[in-house]
Amino acid sequence: MSLPRQPHFDVLSLGEVLLRLDPGEGRVRTSRQFTAWEGGGEYNVARGARRCFGLRTGILTAFADNEIGRLLEDLILQGGVDTSLVKWVPYDGMGKRVRNPINFTERGFGVRGAKGSVDRGHSAASQLKPGDYDFDHLFGTLGCRWLHTGGIFAGLSESTAELTIQACEAAKRHGVTVSYDLNYRPSLWQERGGFPAAQALNRKLAPYIDVMIGVLCDEPPTAGAVAPGESDIFAAEDAALRPAIEKLVAEFPNLKTIAATLRRVHTASINDWGALCYHEGQFYRSRNYPRFDILDRIGAGDSFVAGLVAGLLQEGDAQKAVNYGAAHGALAMTTPGDTSMATLVEVQKLAEGGDSKVQR
């Protein structure tokens, strides 16, 4: 009797990968030098799931075939993410038809918030379209346990929206778990109908989603305020989110899991942090991280998703999953760049209530 064939991938992410140029402690507008990182809302999940949690991950994206594209490939390979499914597009020498996206992002400090300036027009990934990938081969022949994508990639263009729908439909057909991060970016939708248009697309996708990151609603989310004397710093957010999640599940009963990070910004360097997760009829909360010190907040939500995915895939335990996600996101904010540098041991220790004492 032959053993069942193991899927080639644990997780595939569908999304755009950008070259992030980071001025460190300085400002983009005055810096003479930048550190290069790779990053992207969907890619960061695959990278964290591979590097910290040991899952076999790959990225579905496209690059213009020039030196910047090859740098991005090299950075992705350093993170252990499979690049065999990257689409390489001939470069025209000027970037008039196709380019690689660049993200200038400064970290912020104190009263100066983090600030990004993204140059992503005509990117190779934004020109991906239905038919560019044979999803029946990827999911049915090669095999994959989990597909992750999100509103950033879906919002890049009409063709990426159509490709996202095609990918999620195919994943559902092959029994692949689909996670989708709503991740609304005003800059992507300002000329295409704004928040209502983004949510209309998300509602088209919702029937194919198993795990939703964020809560689909009619208004953009707003930050809450701490009630005087409240013992739970996120009591107000929790009280508002639970009925919204229950309403969403009633509308889309296919949603097995809905998770949301909880954040309150005191300054760019000090935030409150935590997470809430609904899973198959029950709610779970991570530990709270009050007045948490931050070095670089970019990518924390994606690191949360990586931990959540790993917890659900490897442990099948929603409480561990939300704990892993919140701890992984917290640790990601203590290092520069879009992606986590944390180890699994560090995540487990922090999730269980560990401290930041020196380890010798």
Q: What string of DSSP letters covers 251-291?
A: H-TT--EEEEEEEEESSSSEEEEEEEEEETTEEEEPPPEEE
Whether residue 140 has pLDDT greater than 60: yes
User: Which amino acid is located at 154 in the chain?
Assistant: A
Q: What is the biggest distance separating any 2 CA atoms in the chain, rounded to whole angstroms?
A: 66
Q: Does 197 fall in a domain?
A: yes
Whether residue 358 has pLDDT greater than 60: no
Query: What is the spatial distance between Cα 145 and Cα 151, in angstroms, rounded to a whole number?
Result: 21
**Tell me: the pLDDT tens digits for 291-316?**
999 999 999 999 999 999 999 999 99
Please choose, from the candidates 144, 100, 93, the residue with its C-alpha nearest in 3D space to the C-alpha of residue 118.
100
10, 312 Cβ separation under 8 angstroms: no
Whether residue 228 has pLDDT greater than 90: no
Query: What is the spatial distance between Cα 37 and Cα 18, in angstroms, rounded to a whole number?
Result: 8
The CA-CA-CA angle for residues 319, 359, 304, to 5°, reads 30
Whether residue 229 has pLDDT greater than 50: yes
Q: Does 150 fall in a domain?
A: yes
Percent of the chain with pLDDT over 90: 89
- Confidence tier at 342 by pLDDT (50, 70, 90): very high
Query: Can you list the positions of beta strands (E) in the chain?
Result: 9-14, 18-22, 35-39, 57-60, 62-65, 87-90, 102-106, 115-119, 144-150, 177-181, 211-213, 257-265, 270-279, 282-285, 289-293
221, 278 Cβ separation under 8 angstroms: no
Average pLDDT over residues 329-347: 96
Token pair for 178? 């689909």
- Confidence tier at 1 by pLDDT (50, 70, 90): very low
Query: What is the spatial distance between Cα 305 and Cα 191, in angstroms, rounded to a whole number?
Result: 29
Tell me, what's the pLDDT at 137?
96
Percent of the chain with pLDDT over 70: 94
Tell me, what's the pLDDT at 336?
96
Q: Does 207 fall in a domain?
A: yes
Domain extent for 143: 44-61+135-352
**Tell me: the pLDDT tens digits for 20-44?**
999 999 999 999 999 999 999 999 9
- Total domains, the chain: 1
**Tell me: the pLDDT tens digits for 174-227?**
999 999 999 999 999 998 899 999 999 999 999 999 999 999 987 766 655 555
Q: Read off φ and ψ for residue 55, nearest 5 degrees.
A: -80, 150
Tell me, what's the pLDDT at 353?
87
- Confidence tier at 357 by pLDDT (50, 70, 90): low
257, 277 Cβ separation under 8 angstroms: yes
**Tell me: the pLDDT tens digits for 47-86?**
999 999 999 999 999 999 999 999 999 999 999 999 999 9
Q: Does 256 fall in a domain?
A: yes
Q: Does 91 fall in a domain?
A: no
CATH of the domain at 269: 3.40.1190.20
Query: What is the spatial distance between Cα 321 and Cα 331, in angstroms, rounded to a whole number?
Result: 15
Whether residue 2 has pLDDT greater than 60: no
322, 8 Cβ separation under 8 angstroms: no
Tell me, what's the pLDDT at 217?
83
Q: Does 105 fall in a domain?
A: no
Q: Does 253 fall in a domain?
A: yes
Strand 211-213 to 177-181 pairing: parallel
Whether residue 284 has pLDDT greater than 60: yes
Whether residue 102 has pLDDT greater than 80: yes
What pTM did the predictor assign? 0.94
Q: Does 293 fall in a domain?
A: yes
